[in-house]
Amino acid sequence: MSGPTPTDALPLGRHVDYPREYDAGLLFPIARALGREAIGVDDAALPFVGVDRWHAYELSWLDARGKPRAGTATFEVPADSPRLVESKSLKLYLNSFNATRFDSEAAVLERIAADLSKAAGAPVLVRSGLPPMRGADAAECIDGQDVDIEIYGPPDARLLKVDDSVMVDDTLRSDLLKSNCPVTGQPDWATVVIACRGPRIDRAGLLRYLVSFRDHAEFHEQCVERIFNDLLSVARPERLSVEARYTRRGGLDINPWRATPGVARPAAVRELRQ
């Protein structure tokens, strides 16, 4: 694997033969710097820390005697890795395990960790199982705002408003984030959770801003970094955390999280829609 692959060479949106045997070459890495340049973020001096947490629901392989085995897994790709992994390529890669024999589940997870780490250019954590479903939390849902909305793309940071006279420690949630795959145009749906210590964010403006992603085409990780960067620029908070929990497609969901350095990582959970 020599490096990132241009998006026009990805298997998205075209017929791809079902993999008949294990093949790490199915993974397509994409340079994170490409998306970050578009929002004015220097890839060499990131204003955030974070991770992309993937949930794999359709993991299967053959044991040493040829009997199919099935499981689930969680992958964590560090946000400071030079590359992200395109989701359909990851699905095809995982499908390549379906007819391949391994001595144990541990051997499968070790192989996945090695291959994803090589693709991402940084150590990727792989473990068996999935995090629990989200229970009740203290996040304020902003979706009930009585507002008119007319902008559905491109994302417009001018919609964000803050009250500098009021300093708060807020955790806000919306289930209305939607963007589109930049290659196929398929919709991507997510719950986004924003934790901010700083000037009070206007709820109506924030909702309008999140909805302005509705017709926007960008990868999940890039959308979250755009939201983080816009909020950081407009609100100038002391602390900021943005996590999006995207719904499942092809047996995978992606949960990017970005935060100002020093912010504790939120507990890993899944949404009901995932």
Q: Is 67 annotated as a binding residue?
A: no
Is 212 flagged in the annotation as binding?
no
Q: DSSP for 186-214, please give it.
A: -EEEEEEEEEEEEEEEPHHHHHHHHHTTT
- Kindly list the distances between the CA atom of residue 49 and the CA atoms of 127, 220, 236, 260, in Å, as whole numbers in the listed order: 21, 16, 16, 6
The response to whether 85 counts as a known ligand-binding position is yes
Asked if residue 101 belongs to a known ligand binding site, the reply is: no
Burial 189-214 (b: 16+ CB within 10 A, else e): bbbbbbbbbbbbbbbebbbbbbbbbb
Largest Cα span, the chain = 68
The reply, when asked if residue 271 is annotated as ligand binding, is no
Is 234 a known ligand-binding residue?
Answer: no
DSSP, res 82: S
Please tell me the distance from the alpha carbon of residue 92 to that of residue 52, in angstroms, as a whole number. 19
Question: Which residues are designated catalytic?
Answer: 181, 188
Distance between CA atoms of 136 and 141, rounded to whole angstroms? 12
Q: Do the strands 29-31 and 162-180 form a parallel or antiparallel pair, or are they unpaired? A: unpaired
Task: Please report the sign of the dihedral spanned by the C-alpha atoms of residue 139, residue 170, residue 188, residue 156.
Answer: positive
Judge whether 88 is annotated as a binding position.
yes
53 in a labelled binding site:
no
Q: How far apart are CA 231 and CA 267, in angstroms?
A: 22
Binding site membership: which residues?
85-88, 220-221, 249-250
Binding site membership for substrate: which residues?
85-87, 220-221
Binding site membership for NADPH: which residues?
87-88, 249-250
